[in-house]
Amino acid sequence: MKSLLTVLILAGMIMAASCSGDAPKVAEKQAAQTVASEKVILQVEGMTCENCVKAVNKALENCEGVIEHQVSLAESAAVVAFDPAKINPEKIIAAIEKVGYKAKMPATE
């Protein structure tokens, strides 16, 4: 009976050790994603309704290297997270202008 208890305790310790061993791997993955991403806020002129927002969203979706994007009609802005190894803000602006809207970088402060 005593030996069974020992086995159970040992098994519990091994499981606990393997669980904590997984944690650093997850953190590494998240760090890698943050490194490969830059964010730019663009001013988008000419959007007047939800369909305009959809058009700009679609243009951004079709850009290779765009990771995340959020287009705001009220603020006439697009927040774009991108992979700097694949695309740059100039190309993102060009993609938005291709679908009929004017985009520019906000004035730097």
In whole angstroms, the minimum distance from the beta carbon of 73 to Cu ion comes to 9
The DSSP code for 106 is P
- 56: exposed, middle or buried (Cβ count in 10 Å: 0-12, 13-18, 19+): buried
Nearer to Cu ion, 52 or 87 (CB): 52
Of 18-77, which residues contact Cu ion (CB under 5 A)? 48-49, 51-52
Asked if 108 interacts with Cu ion (CB under 5 A), we say no
Sites of contact with Cu ion (CB under 5 A): 48-49, 51-52
